[in-house]
Amino acid sequence: MAPPILILRDIHLTFGGTPLLEGAELTVSAGERLCLVGRNGSGKSTLLKIAAGIIQSDSGERFLQPGTTLRYLPQEPDLSGFATTLAYVEAGLAPGDDAYRARYLLEQLGLTGEEDPSRLSGGEARRSALARALAPQPDILMLDEPTNHLDLPAIEWLEAELKSARSAMVLISHDRRFLENLSQATVWLSDGRTRRLDRSFTGFEAWRDEILEQEEVARHKLDRKIASEMDWLHKGVTARRKRNQGRLRALYDLRARRRTAKIPAGMTTMEASLGEQSGQLVIEARKISKSYGETPIVAEFSTRIQRGDRIGIIGPNGAGKTTLLNLLTGSLAPDSGSVKLGANLQMVTLDQRRDSLDPTVTLSAALTGGRGDTVAIGNRTQHVVGYMKEFLFSPEQVNTPVGVLSGGERGRLILARALAQPSNLLVLDEPTNDLDLETLDLLQEMLADYDGTVLLVSHDRDFLDRVVTSVIVSEGRGRWREYAGGYSDMVIQRGIGVEKKAVEKPRRAKEPTASRAAATAPAARRRLSFKDEHALKALPARIEKLQAEIARLQAALADPALYARDRAGFDKVAAGLHEREAALAAAEHEWLELELKREEIEGA
């Protein structure tokens, strides 16, 4: 294994009198890909900031190998002081870095580079910050929730980009599939301490559960030992105190250990309040269409949704997923076609925008509506503290203002309020945003046991695979198609995943007239992208380098004694030759296609 280029050792940090990190450690070697996991509020982002040198720990050691470059992606980037998103990304480049890469990354992330940072949405600011972190190709990349606000095409593009990168990585994400596809080792942060598993996230949950089970057995043994010693102490207290002061001190030590032992927050069960049973037919849509201006959002789409179906709606940002959801639920009228809703529907919609949360009220008041200390759940009531525990809140948070809750905690609060209402149709628009892995587990189990119907919009591939019975996919230009099964089943049937939506270039001149626009439209469409322009310039040098490497390897294989002298070396050289010949063929093919494209554009 390569020597470490970053080491955190015995890190301690206390916030407001409460210890957050108590001896946490982190080691990163060159090219290593780690995922950092733990519950919301466990200190993952804080540990990442300490590793990046942004904040200082109370005690402990941080070592960064001299000359090592490091880039950090924050959850809330600051773009103030920059005229455009391109200027912001380019400011992160060092001398000698590829200047084309900044614009290429922005384009891949759905931005043009000309956006005004002061007018960006939260998602656009995050994508700009991601481009800035990736552009220099540093030795270490530290990415805090990089998939937030990305749609499926962007997430899959980012995976491919990170897989091809040589940088070491530390990833924080709630996206299981993203972590499974990228991580080589897993660091679990719990109770202020870290444990490391030298396997990908795929093996984490079984490993974590085994550790928790062992700790529970150890606590049980400690409780039995204390009970036994207390029984010994109480039988003849005075005499035993005099004869065995050492054993008495040992009992006090055992009790002290038990008091300080941290019991992990237990997994609970999330439950939706069920309404009356709906009719067998829940929604029937017949050739519904919806356009905004000349842009078709939904074009003649039909579907029948039966009781118990779990339907996922997926597509790139801007495809119209929420519009389709509103059409199917009757909250938006189609331009043509019809939507028929079934009998006895009780619909609950998840307000993922969180607009309805008053930051000044307490967690208890947000759940009870400010009326007493019980929560109305369908036709029954439950004490607010008990209901909070079902959504992984601690009793101490009962009077915590909503405004100081983390993003994940606000997401759980929204879920808690929505699921308390009786329903037989759940409409969930991006329910997984900011939720930690434990809460996602609970939500998946709840939806699996839910007796009603579910309409779900999500970019989380693993969540879709675990929850839905079919998916409705955007195929562009307002066309939507339904596939049986989850996301992975759709990819198998369709042959490809969700395709990204083209980025519209900003207009620099006055809006042209209709005739002028028609005349200039072909020229605007026929233009090499920045990625293609850069590739066209870079490919000849790459081809030349590959040809030189092939010639060197062929010369090595020409040695008749190599095979007998070093069989392993011969196999290695032969494999290298095969790899470079394939890369050369691909590079030559790509250059030829781009050159033909360029000639066609210039001749148009």
**Integer Cα distance of 178 and 202 in angstroms:** 11
What pLDDT score does 431 carry?
Answer: 84
Please give the average pLDDT of every successive group of 10 residues along the chain, which has 604 residues: 89 84 95 91 91 94 95 90 94 88 91 91 87 94 90 90 94 93 94 93 89 76 67 56 58 58 53 80 94 90 94 89 92 94 88 68 87 80 85 83 78 82 88 78 84 91 92 92 92 82 48 40 52 78 84 79 77 79 76 69 60
HEC per residue, 343-388? CCCCEEEECCCCCCCCCCCEHHHHHHCCCCCEEEECCEEEEHHHHH
The pair of three-digit structure tokens given for residue 518, joined into one six-digit string: 């028609």
* Whole-number pLDDT of residue 1: 61
> Is 317 a known ligand-binding residue?
yes
CA distance 247 to 442: 45
Angle between helices 122-134 and 99-108 (to 10 degrees): 140
- On whether 43 is known to bind a ligand per the annotation, the reply is yes
38 among annotated binding-site residues: yes
Residue 318 annotated as part of some ligand binding site: yes
pLDDT at 140: 96
80 annotated as belonging to a binding site for a ligand: no
**Rounded alpha-carbon distances, angstroms, from residue 85 to 121, 124, 130, 158:** 12, 9, 11, 19
Start-to-end Cα distance in the chain: 55
Q: Is 315 known to sit in a ligand binding site?
A: yes
Question: Does the annotation flag 9 for ligand binding?
Answer: no
Residue 355 pLDDT:
56
Longest dimension (CA), the chain: 107
pLDDT of residue 523: 37
> What DSSP string runs through 511-542?
PPPHHHHHHHHHHHHS---HHHHHHHHHHHHH
Q: Is 60 known as a binding-site position?
A: no
Q: How would you write 322-337 as a 3-class SS string?
A: HHHHHHHCCCCCCCEE
- Give the separation between CA 381 and CA 374, rounded to whole angstroms: 6
Q: How far is CA 107 from the centre of its chain?
A: 21
Is 478 known to sit in a ligand binding site?
no
Q: What are phi and psi of 199, to 5 degrees?
A: -145, 165
Annotated ligand binding at 44? The verdict is yes
> Is residue 416 within a helix (H) or strand (E), and if so which, with residue range?
helix 407-419
User: How far is C-alpha 577 from the chain's CA centre?
Assistant: 38
> What is the pTM (predicted TM-score) of this model?
0.70
For Cα atoms 137, 141, 142, give the angle at the middle one, nearest 5 degrees.
155
Residue whose C-alpha is closest to residue 60's, from 6, 10, 22: 10
45 is in an annotated binding site: yes
- How many CA atoms lie within 13 Å of 57's alpha carbon, on the beta-carbon side? 28
- The structure tokens listed for 553 are 């390897």
42 annotated among ligand-binding-site residues: yes
Distance CA 96, CA 388 (A): 54
Q: Tell me, what's the pLDDT at 510?
A: 42
Phi, psi of 170 (to 5 degrees): -125, 120
Cα-based distances in Å from 220 to 52, 206, 217, 225, 233: 40, 21, 5, 9, 20
